[in-house]
């Protein structure tokens, strides 16, 4: 099994596929990468969505483990999807909305 890449490289790869939250279009996602863990995480502090992924030389799998607070993504919960799926969903979110839905 290939080894993990550096934290910096992992964050660069993740931000390529998650430029914005695919559910609320928020652009400041928290990328939680730790070399000693098997999984890394992306968290949207705006809507609450959370993804779990395995990042080695590339992102191997991405799984939604928490939906947004308004249940967006409930049909995708716990399903492993290709990173490109989430990238396309993020772009679609941005292209169909002018501003992010800011939660207070």
The answer to whether 49 touches 21, Cβ cutoff 8 Å, is yes
Q: pLDDT (tens digit, 9 = 90+) per residue, 36-55?
A: 788 899 999 999 999 999 88
Structural domain harbouring 76: 7-96
* Residue 1 within a domain: no
**pLDDT level of residue 98 (50, 70, 90 thresholds):** low
Residue 2 lies inside a defined structural domain of this protein: no
Query: In total, how many domains does the chain have?
Result: 1
Query: The pTM is what?
Result: 0.83
User: Is the predicted pLDDT of residue 1 greater than 50, yes or no?
Assistant: no
Answer yes or no: is 69 within a domain.
yes
Query: Among 95, 93, 96, which residue's Cα sits nearest to residue 46?
Result: 93
The verdict on residue 101 lying in a domain is no
Do residues 25 and 97 lie in contact, with contact meaning Cβ atoms separated by under 8 Å?
yes
* Inside any domain, residue 103: no
């Amino acid at each position: 099994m290939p080894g993990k890449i550096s934290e910096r490289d992992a964050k660069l790869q993740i931000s390529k596929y998650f430029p914005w939250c695919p559910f609320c279009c928020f652009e400041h996602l928290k990328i939680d990468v730790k070399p000693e863990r098997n999984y890394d995480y992306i968290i949207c502090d705006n809507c609450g969505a959370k993804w779990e992924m395995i990042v080695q030389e590339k992102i191997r799998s991405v799984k939604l483990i928490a939906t947004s607070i308004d249940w967006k993504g409930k049909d995708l919960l716990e399903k492993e999807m290709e990173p490109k799926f989430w990238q396309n969903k993020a772009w679609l979110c941005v292209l169909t909305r002018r501003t992010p839905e800011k939660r207070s």
